[in-house]
Each structure stands twice: as C-alpha cells, then as structure tokens.
C-alpha cells in the first residue's frame, strides 16, 4: 500500500495534468460546446476506458519494466520531460489558445462519441507520460506489490480526472462564454498551466534514477 503522502502528491500531479489543456480536454470541451453536456459525458466514458487501459498496462508489467531497466526508465523520463516542455510552450507562446476556445464540430452518434473519446485517450501522449514516466517515480517496491501500487495510483488518477472532466463537460458552454468575454482570464489560465507544465518538465528531466 503506497504511503498517503505519495498518493496525495500523485493526486496533485494528476490534477495539474487534467487542468492543463490537452487532446482529451479539448475534445470533451469542444463536444460539450457544440453538441451539449450529455455528448461531453458520453465522450468522457470513452476517455475513461482509455485510462483503464493505461492503468492495466502499467500494472501488468510496463511500470515494473521501466523500474528494472535504467535505460528504459531514462528514455521514457526524458521523452516525457520533452513532451511536457512542448505542451508548456504551446500554452505560453504568443497566440496560444485556451482549451475553452469555441470550436464548431459536426454532431456525432452516441457510438462515435464514445469511440472517439476512447481513441483520443489512447493516442494522448500526456496520459502515456503520466503512466509511463511519472507513475514509476511514485512506485516503491519496499512498501508492497508493484502491481497493487500501480492500480492504486491509477485509480487515484482516474478519480481525479473523471471528477474534473465531468465538471468541464457540464460547464463548458458557460466557461467558454466567460473566457470569450474576458480574454485576460484566458491568458492567465494559459500562463498558469504553462508554468505548471514547465515545472514538471524540469523536475522529470533532472529526476535521478532510483
């Protein structure tokens, strides 16, 4: 069983990641704005299945592998740091857009909403970074099964992500209108998230192998 402090720290990182604009957030928000909150929640169901896939992949050996092979761990860690830095740049660069920038999309069926949410989640590098680069830093073989710890941290991430993504799906229209009328707030949101991402990138880049 992981230490409570480790679970809280991981939950905070998961929160920072979910609040940072990425493929999942942009897709969910766009769907909610163009097709309504129910469409956003259906899409979120597909996204959640993608989270479960990554969690089980980590639990059944990928995390244990990167812990056991220093080169694999370092390669994933540095790739993850580079990707986070790229996300930070996209948030901070001149002309960057908030995830709540209104985008019109054609209406999709329930099946397509769910499947596209799943595909978006599976192909989201940010989620891969979380499970393959960040999660191993919280696994401590001395406190118990790597499998159990991976599942627990995965459940923490999924709980945090579903909670806040549900809020985004339900309030996307109102938030988009708020940012449209107050562009300075959208700028603050982008700079705040970009700074958080940059900090995570630096932390990962200089994290020592266990």
User: In angstroms, rounded to a whole number, what is the distance separating the alpha carbons of residues 49 and 28?
Assistant: 14
Confirm whether 210 is domain-assigned: no
- Best mean pLDDT range from 100-109, 132-141, 190-199, 200-209: 132-141
Residue 183 belongs to some domain of the structure: yes
- CA dist., res. 55 & res. 132, Å (int): 10
Q: What sign has the CA pseudo-torsion 43, 45, 51, 56?
A: negative
Total number of domains in the chain: 1
Q: Is residue 80 part of a domain?
A: yes
Alpha-carbon span 136 to 6, nearest angstrom: 12
Give domain status of residue 102, yes or no: no
The range of the structural domain enclosing residue 132 comes to 4-97+107-205
Q: Is residue 190 included in any domain, yes or no?
A: yes
Residue 182, in any domain of the structure = yes
* Low-confidence winner among 34-38, 63-67, 137-141 (lowest mean pLDDT): 63-67
Over 80: is that where the pLDDT of 192 sits? no
Q: Read off the pLDDT of each residue in 186-204 and give the average, rounded to a whole number.
A: 70
* pLDDT, mean of residues 87-108: 63
Q: Over the stretch 57-91, which tens digit does the pLDDT of each residue have?
A: 888 876 556 556 667 667 766 776 777 677 677 76
Q: Which residues contact 130 (CB under 8 A, 6 or more apart)?
A: 13, 14, 17, 54, 157
In a domain, 78, yes or no: yes
Is there a domain that residue 112 lies in? yes
């Amino acid at each position: 069983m992981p230490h409570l402090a480790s679970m809280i720290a991981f939950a905070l990182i998961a929160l920072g990641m979910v609040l940072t604009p990425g493929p999942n957030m942009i897709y969910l928000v766009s769907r909610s704005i163009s097709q309504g909150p129910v469409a956003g929640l259906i899409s979120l169901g597909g996204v959640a299945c993608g989270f479960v896939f990554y969690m089980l992949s980590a639990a059944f050996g990928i995390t244990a592998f990167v812990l056991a092979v220093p080169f694999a761990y370092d390669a994933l860690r540095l790739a993850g740091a580079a990707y986070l830095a790229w996300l930070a740049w996209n948030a901070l660069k001149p002309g960057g857009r908030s995830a709540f920038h209104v985008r019109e999309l054609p209406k999709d069926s329930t099946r397509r909403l769910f499947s596209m949410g799943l595909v978006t989640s599976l192909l989201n590098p940010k989620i891969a970074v979380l499970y393959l680069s960040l999660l191993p830093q919280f696994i401590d073989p001395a406190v118990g099964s790597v499998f159990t710890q991976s599942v627990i941290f995965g459940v923490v991430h999924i709980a945090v992500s579903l909670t806040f993504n549900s809020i985004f799906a339900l309030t996307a229209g109102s938030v988009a209108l708020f940012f449209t009328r107050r562009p300075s707030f959208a700028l603050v949101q982008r700079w705040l998230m970009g700074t958080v991402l940059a900090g995570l990138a630096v932390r990962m880049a200089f994290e020592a192998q266990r």
